[in-house]
């Protein structure tokens, strides 16, 4: 008998973010029918977003309005109960349990359906009301939960709301068909930047914010004695700082902002090494590091700090350094930039790790296996 799965999340407004749901439909064909509820419209970081069905998606897409989406903590779905019409073996909430939408989903699930939440919480926090009430309501109804990382599981295992429910660590995924090594693309992109095809390029991809460690990376680069170029792809409040760094090293530094996610593989391929020098703060530590698995999929060796989930993501497929040790970062950069064989070794390890642990089919099967266990 085919089981029916409903997965709900505001991120599903973006077609690419429905890759998990699509792949669950592909991997579960004949065993699972997959339906998705997504916002019809959503206020994204780069502008308004509209949910659109994509050709070939192995899922049924249902879109409904949302309210208060300027505050993700208070956002709610409109007409959720009607949209959830039908009989579901399992409902998967890709919303944090401590936000209003998570509690709303928990209140709307039929008693006959199992409910599984997914969470990125990797810092123990005492949430203020009403978030604390949302979390209690969500987890009281939940039958199980998914930790998006090892540190998430460790952090929440000591909390009563979570420790009494079954859980499984399943990471996010990466598309190995989109993120792939392409030497021709790498050479072309470097030429576009005005650099030699053989240039040694240190790259950063992500938000230009203090907790991402950009100041440490720039300081380490200025201490490197080997030839280097630096490519910063992203955007954020530290862009003026990076522009000043670029002005001091005009022939060596390029900053690229406003890049759509579909264009990220081009810029990753132009890098000789990707750096993720994230810095832990009292209220934040790296939750996953999507840029790491995307770089590994592209055959780019990675260096990451020991903030949050990064050591678990990188494993032995790259270098993991103390997050605040500028000397260690300088030495690591010189080591990789000066050793092409070592870069190739880490590139091969990284791709193998991405394929074995983070490829979307692998991640989708892990979800469905867990859902089967929850239902059993």
Q: Dump pLDDT digits (tens) for 104-159.
A: 999 999 999 999 999 999 999 999 999 999 999 999 999 999 999 999 999 999 99
CA distances from 223 to 140, 168, 326, 328, 362 (A): 53, 43, 9, 11, 41
Tell me the CATH class for 183-357.
alpha beta
Span 317-330, pLDDT tens digits: 999 999 999 999 99
Residue 295 reports pLDDT greater than 80: yes
Kindly report which listed range (34-48, 129-143, 332-346) carries the lowest average pLDDT score: 34-48
Question: What is the rounded CA–CA span in Å between residue 376 and residue 369?
Answer: 11
Give the residue carrying structure tokens 């006959």.
Answer: 112
Question: What is the rounded CA–CA span in Å between residue 151 and residue 130?
Answer: 25
Question: What is the rounded CA–CA span in Å between residue 108 and residue 76?
Answer: 12
List the domain boundaries for the chain. 3-173+359-375, 183-357
Cβ-based neighbour number of residue 366 at 10 Å: 18
Mean pLDDT of the region 186-194: 97
Tell me the CATH class for 3-173+359-375.
alpha beta
* pLDDT reported for residue 47: 76
Question: What is the rounded CA–CA span in Å between residue 155 and residue 141?
Answer: 20
3-state secondary structure of 95: coil
Question: What is the rounded CA–CA span in Å between residue 261 and residue 345?
Answer: 27
Q: Percentage of the chain surpassing pLDDT 70? A: 99
Question: What is the rounded CA–CA span in Å between residue 290 and residue 296?
Answer: 10
Mean pLDDT of the region 195-213: 97
Span 63-120, pLDDT tens digits: 999 999 999 999 999 999 999 999 999 999 999 999 999 999 999 999 999 999 999 9
* pLDDT reported for residue 286: 98
Residue 10 reports pLDDT greater than 70: yes
Contact between residue 36 and residue 62 where contact means Cβ atoms under 8 Å apart = yes
* pLDDT reported for residue 46: 63
Beta strands in the chain (DSSP E): 3-8, 32-39, 41-44, 47-50, 60-64, 66-67, 76-77, 90-93, 114-119, 144-147, 167-169, 201-207, 229-235, 253-256, 273-276, 302-305, 319-321
């Amino acid at each position: 008998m085919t089981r029916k799965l409903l997965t709900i999340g505001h991120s599903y407004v973006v077609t690419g973010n429905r890759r998990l749901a699509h792949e669950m439909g592909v991997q579960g064909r004949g065993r699972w029918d997959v339906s998705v509820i997504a916002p019809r419209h959503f206020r994204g970081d780069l502008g308004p977003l509209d949910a659109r069905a994509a050709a070939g998606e192995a899922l049924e897409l249902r879109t409904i309005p949302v309210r208060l989406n300027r505050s993700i903590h208070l956002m709610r779905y409109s007409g959720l109960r009607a949209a959830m019409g039908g009989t579901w073996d399992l409902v998967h909430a890709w919303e944090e349990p401590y936000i209003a939408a998570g509690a709303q989903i928990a209140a709307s699930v039929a008693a006959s359906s199992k409910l599984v939440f997914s969470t990125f919480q990797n810092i123990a926090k005492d949430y203020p009301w009403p978030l604390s009430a949302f979390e209690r309501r969500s987890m009281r109804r939940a039958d199980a939960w998914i930790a998006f990382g090892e540190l998430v599981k460790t952090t929440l295992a000591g909390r009563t709301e979570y420790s009494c429910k079954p859980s499984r660590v399943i990471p996010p995924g990466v598309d190995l068909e989109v993120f792939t090594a392409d030497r021709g693309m790498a050479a072309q992109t470097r030429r576009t930047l005005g650099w030699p095809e053989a240039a040694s390029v240190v790259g950063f991809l992500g938000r230009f914010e203090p907790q991402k460690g950009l100041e440490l990376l720039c300081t380490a680069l200025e201490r490197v004695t080997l030839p280097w170029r630096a490519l910063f792809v992203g955007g954020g409040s530290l862009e003026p700082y990076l522009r000043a760094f670029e002005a001091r090293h005009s022939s060596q530094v390029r900053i690229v902002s406003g890049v759509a996610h579909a264009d990220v593989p081009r810029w990753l391929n132009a890098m000789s090494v990707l750096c993720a020098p994230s810095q832990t703060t009292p209220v934040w530590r790296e939750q996953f590091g999507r840029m790491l698995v995307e770089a590994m999929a592209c055959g780019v060796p990675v260096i990451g700090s020991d903030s949050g989930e990064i050591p678990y993501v990188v494993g032995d497929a790259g270098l993991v350094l103390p997050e605040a040790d500028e000397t260690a970062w300088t030495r690591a950069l010189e080591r990789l930039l000066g050793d092409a064989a070592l870069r190739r070794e880490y590139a091969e390890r990284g791709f193998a790790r991405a394929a074995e642990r983070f490829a979307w089919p692998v991640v989708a099967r892990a979800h469905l296996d867990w859902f089967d266990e929850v239902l059993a």
